[in-house]
Amino acid sequence: MTAISVIIPNYNGRHFLEECIPSLLRAMAEDRIDHEVIVVDDASTDDSVPYLEKNYPSVKLIKRAVNGGFSRAVNEGIKLSKHGLLLLLNNDIRVSPGFIAPLLPFFDDKNTFAVTNRTINFDNAKATKAFTVEFKFGNLLQVHRKDSENASLAFGASGGHALFDRIKFIELGCFDELYSPFYWEDADICYRAYKRGYVSIYEPKSTVLHKSQGSIGRLSKFYVNYIYMRNYLIFVWKNITDSALLFQHIIFLPAFVAYHSIRYPATLVALFGAAFKIPAILRARAREKPFIKFSDRDIFNKLREE
């Protein structure tokens, strides 16, 4: 029988948990899936903890004393998980019975690392579309696939609503906390998995409802954009090891910063924020080097040809 460990990081998300937890438990019960639910509370100041303790005593609750961000919370939950598959779920996700079933068959393939599903926005019922990623003009460019209704290779699987192979997740060292507090840690682990020969899949037959940026919506846009752009640069500097592609990135970096600064004023500050982490980035590159089986070009070609 399939058994799943569900990891839900939470910070001041009581109002989200009121929808997330009941929908999850109902879906698991109706689909008769053996599971455990682990909520990692990241030092919330609202009443998330007493709410869970009172209403859901079966949920394993980890109470962090200091807020450490998404990747640290998830990693702590994974250390205490026991099942072979990990369902990472944001607290602003609502699920329905049947959402797990389309994801499971992919794990019959020993090379599957993760399977992510389609999200539908709570507010406007807009559904996500399948996309791939290409490396052009020194940077990653998102390209939507023409066929969004069938399963396809995914550049990454969302850390907020995807199923992962636990053994491989731990083998990869879990989420890299270099990306704390949030953004790009899920793309990072999936890309590192590709380099080791594993794959991630997008399966649109599984859908979940998502309150877009619900869990970080209270933060300033400048700060959120700063973290996003900083972590994007960390991702490229850490993971792109093809010397020609990396040189191309450096050549186009001034234009990248100038162009994105028009829409995201935090971009220049993000560049300095990423530069500050170069020593840690170099150490991370060195850690991954012995495990690389496939090059950047191998991965981008595979994604493009899918």
Q: Which residues contact 148 (CB under 8 A, 6 or more apart)?
A: 129, 130, 204
| pLDDT at residue 125, as a whole number | 64
Omega before 97 within 30 of 0, i.e. cis? no
| pLDDT at residue 143, as a whole number | 85
Backbone phi, then psi, for 115, in 5-degree steps?
-130, 125
Q: Which stretch of DSSP H or E encloses residue 56?
A: none
Tokens of 38: 């682990």
In terms of DSSP bridges, do strands 199-210 and 93-94 run parallel, antiparallel, or are they unpaired? antiparallel
Instruction: Give the DSSP letter of residue 128.
Output: P
> What is the C-alpha separation between 209 and 39, in angstroms, rounded?
19
Q: Which stretch of DSSP H or E encloses residue 12?
A: none
3-state DSSP percent of the chain in helix, strand and coil, to 5: 45, 25, 30
Give the position of tokens 């209704």.
Answer: 149
First to last CA, the chain: 31
> What is the C-alpha separation between 98 and 257, in angstroms, rounded?
44
Taken in order of first residue, the domains within the chain and their CATH numbers are 3-210 (3.90.550.10), 221-305 (no CATH)
Instruction: Give the DSSP letter of residue 306.
Output: -
| pLDDT at residue 306, as a whole number | 67
CA-based nearest residue to 292, from 180, 197, 171: 197
Q: What is the pLDDT along the chain (306 residues), one digit of tens a residue?
A: 689 999 999 999 999 999 999 999 999 999 999 999 999 999 999 999 999 999 999 999 999 999 999 999 999 999 999 999 999 999 999 999 999 999 999 999 999 999 999 998 877 667 777 778 999 999 999 887 776 778 999 999 999 999 999 999 999 999 999 999 999 999 999 999 999 999 999 999 999 998 765 567 678 999 999 999 999 999 999 999 999 999 999 999 999 999 999 988 999 999 999 999 999 999 999 999 999 999 999 999 999 876
